[in-house]
A and B are shown apart, each in its own frame.
Chain A
Amino acid sequence: MAEMKLLLEHSNDPEYATLKGYLAKGGYTGLGKALKMERQAVIDSVKASGLRGRGGAGFPAWIKWNGIEKEITKPHYMICNADEGEPGTFKDKELMENTPFLVIEGMTIGGYATQSKVGYIYIRGEFVDACRAMRKAIDEAYANGYLGKNILGSGVDFDLYIHTGAGSYECGEESALMSSLMGERGMPRLKFPHAPLPTVAGLWDCPTIINNVETYSCVPFILDRGGEWYATLGASTKNSRGTKIFSVSGHVNKPGNYEVEFGTTLMELLDLAGGMKGGMLKACVPGGSSVPIINAADCERAIIGYEEMAEVKSMVGSGGCMFLNEHTCIVSFIWRTAQFYANESCGKCTPCREGTKWMFQILDRIVRGKGQPGDAELLVDITKQIDGRSFCGLGDAAAWPVAGAIRVFPEEFEYFIKNGRSMVDSAESRAMAPKWAQPAYS
């Protein structure tokens, strides 16, 4: 199976980021069709497509849309989660920069289906270029009647605002994002079943729909060509439909975004990215830093799909696919992963705030050659105490890569702890290590 370009079909064409170019390529036919349908029929179409959230969790998009109240008692809000922060992922950035109208059209369709009159795009503060592209596209859509009052003469109103973050990974979590949009510290809130779903009480306690950039970008195609058509893509998998954009990086010849149909193998994705650079394939993190690492043998048999990936004990996640060559020291890689989560934990709940710091401290002493016997078991024990016990998914996401790496590459951890140096020592692995860690690689 080769690359299957749906969202990224025209991403290299600068015209596509303008309204004229977008319309010339069939843009806004999805919205045109949606506005002639009943609201419920739009939601049913998304249901038929089998579209699942592309932000990482893979939650069916239609359930959120369908869960919103049908009789309006409070204003409804749409949020586009563009706080892309997952290490390894850069697909939303490309979508916003090159295909901004897909996002706007998808949100407008969602706004119509869920009777939301206001939408916010929460973009991480670092993505200024993506913000500018979205700003330009939104202004153009307003000027031509595709946003604002009475869209295309249908009587539907939809306003779209940009809100930027200011540097916090945690704000990619939906309830933390809403806190941040409401002008608070970006900390998560209680979730179902202890608190109502965002579709009941989200932004300013009003019914709120929140989806990822890529999820919204799929919606125009679903409305244009039909949910049933979309569901034929990826039909070879158990329950993953459509296409998925993978951001391929690491030791590959052509890093970048590649869109593939579900059911494609991981090795085909690697081929698309030009194959390995600087050595043989050793391991892969298929879906962003939060998902467990898999070894080369599992890469050979991994099939891209939400359920299929679980067979190699990993996940599709957000699609941040990092391939690592034989010179990569897994201990060092996981040490850096742990540092990321320790820095980005918001500090609200104890398992995550303390656990991520402990994991980092233990990995740090291992990388400094001061590991103690039993450190690997201690790390596994800590991951068990974080996983499932933290307030939001950040804790789980911090625990999985550490636990996964120790499960897949136990010998590397044992060797590093016992000998105070890395099992992988070569000029290449030395080049990757921080200055202070050089003794472990010489």
Chain B
Amino acid sequence: MSETVAIGTPRPRAPRPEELDLKFSESAVAELDALKTHYPDLKSCILPGLWIAQREYGGWLPPEAIAEVAFRLNRSFAEVEGVATFYTMYNTAHKPGRHMIEVCTCLSCHVCGAYRIVDYLEEKLGVKLGETTPDGMFTIHEVECLDACDRAPVLQIGDQYVGPVTSEMVDKILDDLRKVETPSAVQLSDAVVKVHLRDGDK
């Protein structure tokens, strides 16, 4: 989406197999094992595997997380990294703040005043789009169409859509979020992993 990593941004090298420090919890390993039965090959588990990793590693995918997914699915680091960096919902560039507020500014939201919500968020939090507040509480992002145009302008926070949003609502949303401990990226990743699993898998 609009936030891109500049070409040449150094990225830590891939961990070597002997350096791997596996962090998946027992339940995460069980989830990944259940997912393996959904597809005829292991490669298809890369996307759901990355969702699990994003939850297990606290809401983002550092190289260690990618290495662990690669190790568990018997793929190369480069292949899994290539997949992870393609999709915008995997946070590969940096760890986001505890709560990610994603503002849709695409067509319907644009004509319904989404840029005023962006202005308000930027002013209230003192950061620009793509940045994290100094206390590490909030990261604001601009996203492309969330397909909730009937609720424009719309925000996504964790797995929830909020809209139509007004500046007064933004105040309340921010106050409520300060009390929530679970990082929104972890909550979202967990929700996504859960919907993959059938009753029989759980």
Residue numbers of B with Cβ under 8 A of A are 1-2, 38-41, 43-48, 50-51, 82-83, 86-90, 105-108, 110-113, 115-116, 118-119, 144-152, 156, 159-161, 188, 191-192, 194-196, 198-200
How far apart are A441's CB and chain B's nearest CB, in angstroms? 11
The chain B residue sitting closest to A346, CB to CB, is B86
The answer on a CB contact under 8 Å between A320 and B110 is no
The answer on a CB contact under 8 Å between B149 and A247 is yes
Binds B, one of A86-94, A219-227, A387-395: A86-94
Q: Mark A309-328, 1 if CB is under 8 A from B, else 0.
A: 00000000000101010001
Partner of A163, one of B43, B47, B116: B47
The answer on a CB contact under 8 Å between B107 and A337 is yes
The chain B residue sitting closest to A186, CB to CB, is B86
**Are A88 and B2 CB-contacts (below 8 A) given A126-B156, A333-B107?**
no
The answer on a CB contact under 8 Å between A143 and B199 is yes
**Are A180 and B47 CB-contacts (below 8 A) given A84-B147, A162-B195?**
yes
The answer on a CB contact under 8 Å between B87 and A85 is no
How far apart are A347's CB and chain B's nearest CB, in angstroms? 9
The answer on a CB contact under 8 Å between B144 and A139 is no
Q: Mark A330-354, 1 if CB is under 8 A from B, else 0.
A: 0011001101100110100000000
CB-CB under 8 A from A204, the residues of chain B are 40-41
Number of CB contacts from chain A to chain B under 8 A: 183
A7 contacts partner chain B, Cβ-Cβ < 8 Å = no
Q: Mark A117-147, 1 if CB is under 8 A from B, else 0.
A: 0000000111111011011001100110000
Range class of the A interface residue count = 35 or more
CB-CB under 8 A from B115, the residues of chain A are 432-435
The answer on a CB contact under 8 Å between A249 and B50 is no
Binds B, one of A28-36, A53-61, A166-174, A260-268: A166-174
How far apart are B176's CB and chain A's nearest CB, in angstroms? 18
The answer on a CB contact under 8 Å between B147 and A93 is yes
Smallest CB-CB A-B distances: 9 pairs = A249-B149, A167-B89, A166-B87, A167-B88, A128-B159, A87-B145, A183-B46, A131-B195, A183-B43
The answer on a CB contact under 8 Å between A87 and B144 is yes
A161 contacts partner chain B, Cβ-Cβ < 8 Å = yes
A182 contacts partner chain B, Cβ-Cβ < 8 Å = yes
A139–B198 alpha-carbon span in the complex (Å): 6
How far apart are A120's CB and chain B's nearest CB, in angstroms? 8
The answer on a CB contact under 8 Å between B108 and A432 is no
CB-CB under 8 A from A135, the residues of chain B are 194-195
The answer on a CB contact under 8 Å between A322 and B38 is no
The chain B residue sitting closest to A147, CB to CB, is B198
**Are A168 and B88 CB-contacts (below 8 A) given A90-B147, A255-B149, A435-B119?**
yes
